[in-house]
Amino acid sequence: MRVLVVNAGSSSLKVRLLEGEDLIGSYEQIPTEIAPAVEAVGHRIVHGGTRFTGPVVIDDVVEQQLHALAELAPLHQSKSLQALAAAREAFPDVTHVACFDTAFHARMPAKARTVALPRAWRDKYALRRYGFHGLSHAWAARRAVQLAPTARRIVTCHLGAGASLCAVLDGCSVETTMSFTPLDGLVMATRSGSVDPGLLLWLQERENLTAGELTDALEQHSGLAGLADEPDMRALLARTDREARLAVEVYVHRLAAGVAAMTAALSGLDALVFTGGVGENAAAVRAEVGGYLGHLGVDIDQDRNRNARPDARISADGARVPVFVIAAREDLEIAGLCTTLLQPR
């Protein structure tokens, strides 16, 4: 089946036409001219809430329900829905399928997904830790098993403009760093990651901030941008000033601590994966993270790391835990989900 995959992220739009695992074409906008070649369109949708825990065929009702979830992922959902509307208009005669970043985490154990807030709030608003980047984490974990067939306990590090970790046990997500929204967890390009809620309440009162102003600061002006006025990790690694170095150190410190926490959730570590724009391209970040994790059996070979091109093993010979750089292929994950849904065996 030829599937056009529309992947609208927080900072990019990727459109690819695939048949099986073969890439037929790559585009920077919706390619209306290829309509005769398209048999289905698969969309990356960030938030599925509690309603959508797997891929679903999109109709007008489903699209309205997706709009209702936009406030939970404001940086992402609106862009995904804009791309969805454009694609449905461009390809009105083919089936469109929504594939969700939250779905991979939908069956996390209760101890991992439950938030420690009053039951009345949890029940009324379906409060839980949803997790995100599930399409990327699912692909990276599956690819890691192809490269290390005995690996059962895998930590995947999706590091891009947004960043999250996932603890994967036998192909299933059991813990992740993002929570109710994609704002929680690691330091990101412009997002703060985890911050003491008491600090935010204190700031809101002292600065007389509205909820919208606070949201904008946390989503758009924090993270690496807040630390060093620069959201791009490549630019920060090229700088030598104190603020840039501190930003990288904070990023790496939180990332390494997160990997250790994911390892604890798995009761051990059989493989570590770096993926996403930073994960695939920032050898210095991978090296510094590896330096924190020797006690877990991680030993990165510096030559392999420096010269790595996905998909590659960068761990040293004899290292207990294999470490991989794996290309983020959400497009393949989405195309596979669409094919399985529309052409079940």
Task: Supply 144's token pair.
Answer: 């890691």
Q: Do residues 117 and 127 lie in contact, with contact meaning Cβ atoms separated by under 8 Å?
A: yes
Q: Which residues contact 154 (CB under 8 A, 6 or more apart)?
A: 141, 144, 145, 167, 168, 169, 266, 269, 270, 271, 272, 273
Q: Which of 101, 184, 301, 311 is catalytic?
A: 101
Cα 331 to Cα 79: distance, rounded to the nearest angstrom: 17
Q: Which residues contact 49 (CB under 8 A, 6 or more apart)?
A: 69, 72, 102, 126, 130
Cα 50 to Cα 52: distance, rounded to the nearest angstrom: 6
Q: Which amino acid is at 155?
A: V
331 is catalytic: no
Helix (H) or strand (E) holding 14: strand 13-19
At what angle are helices 283-292 and 242-266 packed, to 10 degrees? 60
| Residues 9-35 as b or e (16 or more Cβ within 10 Å = b) | bbeebbbbbbeeeeeeeeeeebbeebe
Task: Supply 26's token pair.
Answer: 């790559």
Cα 261 to Cα 256: distance, rounded to the nearest angstrom: 9
Q: Do residues 159 and 275 lie in contact, with contact meaning Cβ atoms separated by under 8 Å?
A: yes
Task: Supply 241's token pair.
Answer: 């000033």
Q: Judging by DSSP bridges, how do beta strands 13-19 and 2-8 pair with one another?
A: antiparallel
Helix/strand/coil percent split, the chain, to 5: 45, 20, 35
Residues with a known catalytic role: 101
